[in-house]
Structure 1
Amino acid sequence: MMFAVLSGTAGAAPQVGVSPWGPKDEIGRLNLITPASRAAIMARVSGTQAYDLAVDYFIGMPSWQAAGDPPYQMWMTHTPHGNLVADSMQVGEAMNRHVSYSGSAVSMYAHMGTHIDALNHFGLNGKIWNGYSAAEHLGDRGWKVTGAEKLPPIVARGVLIDVAAAKGLDMLPDNYRVTRQDLREALARQGVGLQKGDVVLIRTGRMQHYENAQAYMANPPGLGLDAARFLVEEGGAMVVGADNLSFETFPAEVPDNYIPVHTYLLAQQGAFIIELVNLEALSRDRVYEFAFIGASLKFRGADAAPIRPVALPLR
């Protein structure tokens, strides 16, 4: 089944999408989640197992720093021994020996670990999804519209497309650009079709390098623009994700856009992107269809937030 493109015409310069859900829409294709769609997928859950699709956060973890963004940092703000000396709660040495106190703080870029991009992450010509302009809606404390806090909990049918396994590989080669045909062949091999409102997750195998940040970040494979069009325009995907950090691969296919897959999905189609999804266990067990459940942190005005997705196999 074909699904209409939400913006643009053949040969025209890309423009941001105008939402079919109205001029005040801030969540794009997440509007496809309904009480009926949630109930339908949850009614099929087997309850036999739950797959955690999130990665660990740790100092030295892979992160996008090419644009000068900060790495993940974690430090102790309170330790049991330190409180014996500092007595920060002013309860005395005897109490601090009896009651130990540990506290910590973290600092991070919003696009780290398993995270979901909000629709304001990338735009075109000064505007983002649904025609919201940076000039009017972006302040010193983040976006007034489409912030990460607007994302509802995602409960939907999930589909793994294991491109690496379909090619008989543990991992796709460096800089490999996943094509429309790759996706079709993998789906056929798996015996699974796409449906409107799916969360579609692409496995490249890159997650096997996650503990080695340099190897994980170097020349990752990723999705091509035509493959992204297939997922949204033919498959009806609501959310797309992958086990790499950039989702798409580089260099860009489009001369006048250095990140065309992101702008196509987020700005033109209102489709969300989840990156650094750990798909290894699903691949190992050949679980290609499941209930996807994920809720991101409500970072007000932010362009991304960490998410802890879970895959529940179906009956």
Structure 2
Amino acid sequence: MSIPCSFDELKQRSGPPLNAWGLYGPDDELGRLNLITPDSVKRGRDSIRHGIRINLNLSFTSFPSLGPVRPPLRREIEHRVYCIDDIVTFNTQTSTQWDGFRHFAYKHWPEKDVYTYHGGMTEAEALDTSNHKYGTQNYAKHPITSRGVLLDVAGYIERHQLPPLSYFDLSTPITLDLLKATANDEGVTFQPGDICIVRTGWTEAFLSLSDEQREAMTKLRKGTVGIDQDEEVLRWHWESGIAAVASDT
């Protein structure tokens, strides 16, 4: 499937800025995942050279809770005469996860203090547990499997002895120039349906902190390193045909 419109056409759409609602049909719940076609999946298979398996999921206990509203994993063991059951309760933001279309809202459209979610869904509709529209179950029904393109930004910075990123505040955003330089250094290019995986080095930096340093960092809440949000980054993402993005933050 081709990209449904240019970035300039996307900018001219009605509704909140740069929304892609309905571009793949009025009943669509996959968004850019529609770009993952059989050809893009086979492209991932054809890219395999060594057959090495790499687990991209972090353990549920890799990190302490980074926010009081997101409790850590809780595990109970229940003995039932002849068997033992595990009972696990966790916040889906505790560790590795995919964000769904209902995770984040447009706060200032169309009215201030009114939250509008993907496709024009209201806050009440998004909070309704009986409403499954735009839920993450779509990722189970349509597995996210395609060619992954790794942009190892931390590795690029280290190889070229550039100033290190500041991981625990927003003072050094990762620019488009840095993303492109990393891709060029690695000799990789994107095609529609690819998954972009960005390694910033945040995980290693966080795990290297002492308990006291982690507590101080989470109290400051100054943010963390991330991709610059200027329009050229958004244009590059859209026109490259990237279907999904993952990172180590």
- Normalising by structure 2, what TM-score? 0.75
Contact 2:10/2:20 (<8 A) preserved: yes
Matched, 1:173 2:166: yes
- SS for the counterpart of 1:102 is strand
Higher relative contact order (CA 8 A, sep 6+): 1
1:52 maps to amino acid: N
- SS for the counterpart of 2:116 is coil
- SS for the counterpart of 1:20 is coil
Matched, 1:52 2:45: no
1:163 to 153, 157, 168: 153
Partner of 2:76: 75
Cα deviation for residue 157 of structure 1 reads 1.2
Partner of 2:42: 39
Matched, 1:141 2:129: yes
Cα deviation for residue 200 of structure 1 reads 0.4
Unaligned runs of at least 5 residues, structure 2: 110-114
Instruction: Report which of the two has the higher share of strand.
Output: 1
Q: Aligned Cα RMSD in Å? A: 3.0
Task: Note closer, same or farther for the CA distance 1:105–1:171 as it changes in structure 2 (3 Å cut).
Answer: farther
How many matched pairs? 220
Could you give the per-residue CA deviations for residues 127-174 of structure 1, whole angstroms, max 9, x where no partner exists?
322333334x33531643110111221111111111112112696323
2:63 to 51, 61, 64: 61
Give the Cα–Cα distance (whole angstroms) in 2 for the partners of residues 34 and 54 of structure 1: 24
Could you give the per-residue CA deviations for residues 204-261 of structure 1, whole angstroms, max 9, x where no partner exists?
11121347672786752111213741542232211111101xxxxxxxxxxxxxxxxx
Task: Kindly report which structure 2 residues correspond to 1:17-28, keeping only aligned pairs within 5 A, or say none.
Answer: 17-28=20-31
2:98 maps to amino acid: I
1:183 maps to amino acid: L
Partner of 2:225: 221
Task: Kindly report which structure 2 residues correspond to 1:236-275, keeping only aligned pairs within 5 A, or say none.
Answer: 236-244=241-249
1:118 maps to amino acid: G
1:119 to 101, 105, 124: 101
Q: Percent identity?
A: 25
1:236 maps to amino acid: G
Partner of 1:280: none
Task: Note closer, same or farther for the CA distance 1:204–1:119 as it changes in structure 2 (3 Å cut).
Answer: same
Partner of 1:128: 117
Unaligned runs of at least 5 residues, structure 1: 79-87, 90-95, 245-315
Matched, 1:108 2:104: no
1:105 maps to amino acid: I
Partner of 2:237: 232
Contact 2:57/2:96 (<8 A) preserved: yes
- SS for the counterpart of 2:178 is helix
Could you give the per-residue CA deviations for residues 72-118 of structure 1, whole angstroms, max 9, x where no partner exists?
2223223xxxxxxxxx43xxxxxx6xxxx433222211112111001
Contact 1:26/1:150 (<8 A) preserved: yes
1:146 maps to amino acid: Y
- SS for the counterpart of 1:233 is helix
